[in-house]
Amino acid sequence: MPDYKIVQVESRKDIKEFIKFPDRLYRDCPQYVPALHSDQYKSLTSVSTLSYCSHKMWLVKDGKQTVGRICAMVNPRYNERYNTKRARFGWFDTINSIEVARLLISTAEAWAKEQGMEEIHGPLYYNTLGKQGMLVEGFENIPPFNCIYNYPYYNDLVQALGFEKECDWSQYKMVADQGVPEKTERVAKIVQQRYDLRVGNLSSLKKDKALVRKFFEVYNESFAANVYNFVPMTEAEMDEEAASVMPYINDKASCMLLSPEGEIAAFGISFPSISKALQKARGKLFPFGWIHLLRALNDYETTDLMINGAAPDWQHKGVSAVYYKLMAEKAKKIGNRWAISNPQIETNSAVNIWNSYEHELFMRRRCYIKKID
């Protein structure tokens, strides 16, 4: 007979157990991609986002064995921006047990209610940068490194506990080396000539701290009005993200368009898939995990399309045709066969761009929401 008890995560030992639990839960799952433990520890204890977000973590124990985990968060900048009183939950993992799931969710809700919150939604990260959305379709596929994987029964459990769909994000798998449609080719040529757009050298540009900061400012501006639940980054978050991702961005799979004045007009950022390398690393860089990651970063057969967009002043001018053309040319040159899109909200008409390419639905993920009793 199980004897489930909720335990608040407080000590370093508790945090390590919190991080390692899903690795055991998914030990026999070929699709699961472990996150690096060091990255998870930083996310849970010291990222700059925690300077304004509050959070609590819990484990459910059956005797000495961990059988579930959850993190509850409140982002005041999100609530102020959208005039809500919402908490969010993330890092939600559990055995297939309604009792364990209820204990996790009810504890998160009780804490959220103490914080004055009226709703709870998730799975989400503190802000827009982290993993979000419970997988509801595409369980047979290996996700990109920055996306959640979960067993199908998770959805049954949260729905049984009163959660309803808030929104869905879709991801698509495309043939990367198929080129762009003839119409896109024509539009790209016209737009690039009309506005005298030039292609920036990313290897040089990313060494320019002012331009790197400008890139993230443009990211904030271009996504603020178009991405559901978007929370603009703070300056500290920009610096952290730059230190984290800029070393891996290069001209082989990414591009940046500059105006004649040298301002950022548009961008398309893509990384080689490192999911299988992370599976081999099993959460650790040492002693051999870094070797798997280094090899993966030089293998462009499959790429993850991270972000693309245009600065506000350059939106609705056709510049997307230019960077799609450039990205397609790069794909052929580096032997990129497949590309996986980042999650895109189902209500965003921009997803229709994939109808111009050979593609298939790869994954669908969902944010659930519930009123707190």
Q: pLDDT by residue (tens digit) across 333-359?
A: 999 999 999 999 988 766 677 777 889
DSSP 118: S
The reported pLDDT for the residue numbered 225 is: 74
Q: Work out how many domains the chain is built from and give that number.
A: 2
Last residue of a domain, one of 110, 141, 170: 170
**% of the chain at pLDDT higher than 90:** 87
* Mean per-residue pLDDT, 20-35: 98
Q: Are 151 and 283 contained in the same domain?
A: no
Q: Are 180 and 302 contained in the same domain?
A: yes
The reported pLDDT for the residue numbered 205 is: 83
Inside any domain, residue 21: yes
Task: Give residue for tokens 């301002």.
Answer: 263
Q: Are 252 and 304 contained in the same domain?
A: yes
Q: Are 207 and 245 contained in the same domain?
A: yes
Last residue of a domain, one of 122, 146, 170: 170
Model confidence at 204, pLDDT cuts 50, 70, 90, reads confident
Q: Are 75 and 99 contained in the same domain?
A: yes
Tell how far CA 215 is from the center of its chain: 18
Inside any domain, residue 369: no
Q: Are 219 and 339 contained in the same domain?
A: yes
- Euclidean distance between CA atoms 281 and 131, whole angstroms: 19
Q: Are 130 and 179 contained in the same domain?
A: no
Q: Are 178 and 163 contained in the same domain?
A: no
Model confidence at 46, pLDDT cuts 50, 70, 90, reads very high
Last residue of a domain, one of 129, 154, 170: 170
User: What CATH number does the domain containing 11 carry?
Assistant: 3.40.630.30
Inside any domain, residue 268: yes
DSSP 144: P
Q: Are 131 and 263 contained in the same domain?
A: no
Whether the Cβ atoms of residue 84 and residue 119 lie closer than 8 Å to each other: yes
The reported pLDDT for the residue numbered 350 is: 67
211-267 per-position pLDDT tens digit: 899 999 999 998 887 788 899 999 999 999 999 989 889 999 999 999 999 999 999
Inside any domain, residue 77: yes
Inside any domain, residue 371: no
Other CB atoms within 10 A of residue 12 CB: 10
Q: Are 164 and 146 contained in the same domain?
A: yes
Q: Are 21 and 124 contained in the same domain?
A: yes
Average pLDDT, the chain: 94
Inside any domain, residue 373: no
Inside any domain, residue 293: yes
115-169 per-position pLDDT tens digit: 999 999 999 999 998 999 999 999 999 999 999 999 999 999 999 999 999 999 9
Q: Are 94 and 231 contained in the same domain?
A: no
7-16 per-position pLDDT tens digit: 999 999 999 9
- Euclidean distance between CA atoms 69 and 55, whole angstroms: 13
- Domain span at residue 350 reads 174-364
